[in-house]
Structure 1
Amino acid sequence: MPIVNFNSSRMSGLLEFIESLNSWGPQSRELGLGTFQQSLGVPGLFPEDNCFLLEEGGRVRGFSLLFPELPIGRSVLEMGIARDLEGTTQELELVRRSVDRARAIGARVAHICVAGNPSRAKMLEAEGFSRVRVYWDMVWSQDELPDQEVPPGFIVRSYQPGDATDLTEAQNSAFEGSWGFCPNTVDQIEYRSQMPNTSNQGILILNDGDKTAGYCWTCLSPLNESTRGVIGMIGVVPEYRGRGISRTILLASMEYLRSLDVADISLQVDGSNTPATRLYTSVGFEKVGELHWFELLLS
């Protein structure tokens, strides 16, 4: 089966393939396909160079998508394959094509996340990848949220047009030095704030006067026939750490998601980050699975 570069004329075929991998209802389908399509336009991605399609008889049977994160020397690989091709040489060739591309653009390391796919994990290890991180998949599905008051002097507000610069600075400051975090640009923040799975109301900012102390970026994800709320990122600016405001912004964000009548709320967190896992467990999140991050050194 040939592997070809993505271009706009292949968009409909790629979206048809993405839909085939999921069991979406009409509402979930619109959300899932719209989000995937818009993700190809994130500034700096260049899908014509970094997205590869496995085709058979003109139909897409698999894809690999490489997200360049060269400021930290890495590229992140995302992929999907038809179920009857899992663990085959065709899937391996998609991985190799993306790894070659990562080397060509100067990345020092390639990362890929694997969830519930033993054949892919085995294939990656045979290619020289090693497991370097285990993230927890956590879900909240209770009836009530714990009580929480906003600390005196602080306010929680929604993202507004014009906030992108301040939010970019806060996010980059909050996550500087964290494993796998690549600093965002203002253009990327602005673009992501307008994607179909995101709304201005769902990006909550905790202000101390006119200063940004922390934020939580929520989004929506298709879940079979319904919609799941997602805590995408939650960060606290270093000077405000240790004051319990992570819990404040987390619960405010969960309250917002509950107002949308989502089926449940999920998040992913580094299993070795004990303060974070303790926080999420304390408000009722439960671990439901693991996601394994694999790494290949390229230099």
Structure 2
Amino acid sequence: MPIRSYTGDQLPSLLDFIGAVRGWGSQGRDLARRIYREVLAQPDLSPSDNCFLLEDEEGKIQGFCLVTPELPISRTVLELEVAPHLSGSSLEVELLRRGTERARELGARVVHICPLEAQRLADLLSAESFVHARTYLDLVWDHAELPLWQAPDGFSVRSFQPGDASLLTEIQNSAFDGSWGFCPNSVDQIEYRASLSNTSHQGIIFLHQGENPAGYCWTCVAPVNGGIRGLIGMIGVVPGYRGQGVSRAILLAGMEHLRSIGVADIALQVDGSNTPAIRLYTSVGFEKVGEIHWFELDLELPSTPNC
């Protein structure tokens, strides 16, 4: 079964494959297809160079590996999926190796992957010299009422407006500078992502003290379990405002927006080592429902995969 580079005419087949293996369902199918189509079209991704497909004799897609370059921090992120009957097969290994080969071609120093089925893939990844790098907690909020909140004295909240892409880029890059896995964004990238089908300008919320931005919350939605789930995608505080208790107000402003659009529940992911953030999220009612595991391949170390 050959591995081929993605071409634009394969988009419908690729979306059909991803929808089948991930169980998008009827209610969220259209939204999920739009989102993934937009992901492939995002600036600097170039899927014809960075997406690889497994096809059977009939030309039906049986797996894919998407390589997302984040070269400002010398890494790439792999997304790997195969049909259930190919799970753990040599073809899955070949697809993974093609993704890591592409990372080398791009000049990356490290490859990260966050598989949906970490337990199933752990041995395969270990055999290919990947090591466990990070554990994130999957948290969900599902309550009847939000905690009461208000902006701190002297602060106000507002939503993203046309022309705010530069401001959001500056705040996000400042808030997450030095954070594990964070790649600084360009204004073009932020502009594009702010227009995706899973987000809205109303769902990107700034907290200001007078004219000075203090932080932001970027919300979005995703199809999950036959309904639409709200997501806290990013929440960040400008370094000069840390330790002043503004995170709770930003978080609850974002959650209030998501509640206003009728989502079934609200989810977020948080680094398992970030104790202050975990304390904040659990204080407003988020509960742990699972874990997400990141694995890392250091391309500067000698490669010793098991054949």
- TM class by shorter chain equals over 0.9
Query: What one-letter code is carried by the residue in structure 2 that aligns with 1:13?
Result: S
CA contact (8 A) 1:165 1:186 kept: yes
Mapped to 2, the partners of 1:135 and 1:101 lie a distance apart of 26
Q: Report matched runs for 1:36-47 at 5 Å.
A: 36-47=36-47
1:229 Cα offset (Å): 0.3
Mapped to 2, the partners of 1:59 and 1:195 lie a distance apart of 28
Structure 2 residue 135 is the aligned partner of structure 1 residue 171: no
1:24 Cα offset (Å): 3.1
Q: TM-score, normalised by structure 1?
A: 0.98
Partner of 1:263: 264
CA contact (8 A) 2:134 2:295 kept: yes
Mapped to 2, the partners of 1:276 and 1:118 lie a distance apart of 26
Q: Report matched runs for 1:146-161 at 5 Å.
A: 146-161=147-162
Query: What one-letter code is carried by the residue in structure 2 that aligns with 1:26?
Result: S
Mapped to 2, the partners of 1:163 and 1:116 lie a distance apart of 37
Q: Deviations over 1:5-26 (max 9, x none)?
A: 1111111110111111133343
Partner of 1:118: 119
Q: Report matched runs for 1:198-237 at 5 Å.
A: 198-237=199-238
Q: Report matched runs for 1:180-195 at 5 Å.
A: 180-195=181-196
Instruction: Single out whichever of 24-33 and 107-116 deviates more from structure 2.
Output: 24-33
Partner of 1:32: 32
Instruction: For residue 27 of structure 1, give the secondary structure of its aligned residue in structure 2.
Output: helix
CA contact (8 A) 1:103 1:298 kept: yes
Query: What one-letter code is carried by the residue in structure 2 that aligns with 1:62?
Result: G
Instruction: For residue 262 of structure 2, give the secondary structure of its aligned residue in structure 1.
Output: coil
Corresponding residue pairs, total: 299
Instruction: For residue 21 of structure 1, give the secondary structure of its aligned residue in structure 2.
Output: helix
1:115 Cα offset (Å): 3.7
Q: Work out the percentage of aligned pairs sharing the same amino acid.
A: 59
Instruction: For residue 218 of structure 1, give the secondary structure of its aligned residue in structure 2.
Output: strand
Q: Report matched runs for 1:1-299 at 5 Å.
A: 1-56=1-56, 57-299=58-300
Instruction: For residue 22 of structure 2, give the secondary structure of its aligned residue in structure 1.
Output: coil
Query: What one-letter code is carried by the residue in structure 2 that aligns with 1:253?
Result: G
1:65 Cα offset (Å): 0.5
Structure 2, unpaired ranges of 5+: 301-307
1:211 Cα offset (Å): 1.6
Mapped to 2, the partners of 1:239 and 1:43 lie a distance apart of 31
Q: TM-score, normalised by structure 2?
A: 0.95
1:86 Cα offset (Å): 1.2
Instruction: Single out whichever of 110-119 and 272-281 deviates more from structure 2.
Output: 110-119
Structure 1, unpaired ranges of 5+: none
CA contact (8 A) 1:66 1:102 kept: yes
Q: Deviations over 1:18-67 (max 9, x none)?
A: 11113334330011111011001111111110011111120111111011
Mapped to 1, the partners of 2:161 and 2:98 lie a distance apart of 40
Q: Deviations over 1:232-291 (max 9, x none)?
A: 000000001001111001001011111111111110110000011111111110111111
CA contact (8 A) 1:114 1:121 kept: no
Tell me how large the CA RMSD over aligned residues is: 1.0
CA contact (8 A) 2:132 2:296 kept: yes
